Amino acid sequence: MVGVRQFDEDEVIATALDVFWRKGLHDATMQDLAAATGVQRGSLYNAYGDKEAIFLRAFDQYAEQFLEAAGNALGRGDAAAGLKNFFEMIIVNMTDGAPPRGCLTTRTALDATISSAEVRQRVRDVLAGLEALVAKTISATPGRRSRADANRLARVIVTFTRGLAVMERAGYSRKQLKETAATFIDAVVGDR
């Protein structure tokens, strides 16, 4: 190694993640990334190849953080409490920032038609990961639910979180989202 890279890669990817999160893969330009990271466009091309390669790195970092946070939330308390924490964390995640950045996975999913197979697969991976985590928590609840039922219910719950992400983009506030999530939990989990 001789001509040495002038920037911190982790920092650049983290900053790129923020740009993609706010603008989306498609709408974020290399100029946006260059401006935000302070690294010239040409250097980014040299280091990563193209925009999508940068996105994939950033998204992988995001997915890892996200799934870890989801797992932690679900694990705090019993299954019911875990679900509540889970929704809390999901909603905070998507309403964070000024203005809120929304949910990166959902935004990316909606661009499916103009994304590469690789990007689409990343989205599916996150959703599958989420389903698995939720199913695990649900299964831990006392008896009378089959494995298949738990999986089905987990998919319902994950689907609902995607709905929250859409509602956020439509202008619903954090408070409204939390209320809606609470109603959902009551309706689905409350065995009254």
Residues that bind DNA (CB under 7 A): 1-7, 29-31, 39-43, 45-47, 49-51
Q: At 74, which amino acid appears?
A: L
Pick out residues in 116-135 that bind a copy of itself (CB under 8 A): 120, 123-124, 127
Is residue 178 a contact partner of residue 186, using CB atoms and an 8 Å limit?
Answer: no
Residues between 35 and 94 that touch a copy of itself (CB under 8 A): none
The least distance separating a copy of itself from the CB of residue 50, rounded to whole angstroms, comes to: 19
What is the number of other CB atoms lying within 10 angstroms of the CB of residue 147?
Answer: 10
Does 162 bind a copy of itself (CB under 8 A)? Our answer is yes
What minimum distance in Å lies between the beta carbon of 62 and a copy of itself?
16
SS3 assignment, position 29: coil
Question: Which of a copy of itself, DNA, none does residue 80 bind to, with CB < 5 to 8 Å depending on kind?
Answer: none
31-34 long-range Cβ contacts below 8 angstroms, 24+ apart: none
CA–CA dist 119, 58 (Å, integer): 11
Q: What is the dihedral of CA 184, 187, 190, 192, to 10 degrees?
A: 170
* Binding site residues, a copy of itself, CB under 8 A: 22-24, 26-27, 99, 102, 106-107, 109-110, 112-114, 120, 123-124, 127, 152-153, 155-156, 158-167, 169-171, 179-180, 183-184, 187-188, 191-192
